[in-house]
Amino acid sequence: MKVILYTSPTCFYCHKLKDFLKSQNIEFEEMDVSQNQEAAEDLIKKSGQKGLPVVDINGEIIVGFDLPTLKEKLGI
């Protein structure tokens, strides 16, 4: 399973989502869109917006801290 998390340091829900993934021992790649312009452009292409957090789970995009959907897609 490939999990990519698009974040920024000032995003409260980004921190909550990272903590959740870590608590479930889910490995993820973090893309800080505030420091990485290419990641920011990728985020917009995938989600159609600039809001954070955005999670890409095997190509499926979840916008925001949507815990029920995250659990379903992660098989938790």
Per-residue tokens: 47: 């989600």
Q: In what order do the strands lie in the sheet with 60-63?
A: 29-32, 3-7, 54-57, 60-63
Three-state DSSP state, 50: coil
The tally of domains found in the chain comes to 1
Q: What is the DSSP string of 21-43?
A: HHHTT---EEEETTT-HHHHHHH
CATH code of the domain in which 70 resides: 3.40.30.10
Q: Which domain holds residue 18?
A: 3-74
Smallest Cα–Cα separation from 73: which of 29, 39, 61? 61
The tens digit of pLDDT for each residue in 2-53 reads 999 999 999 999 999 999 999 999 999 999 999 999 999 999 999 998 899 9
**pTM reported for the whole predicted model:** 0.92
Q: Kind of pairing, strands 60-63 and 29-32? A: unpaired
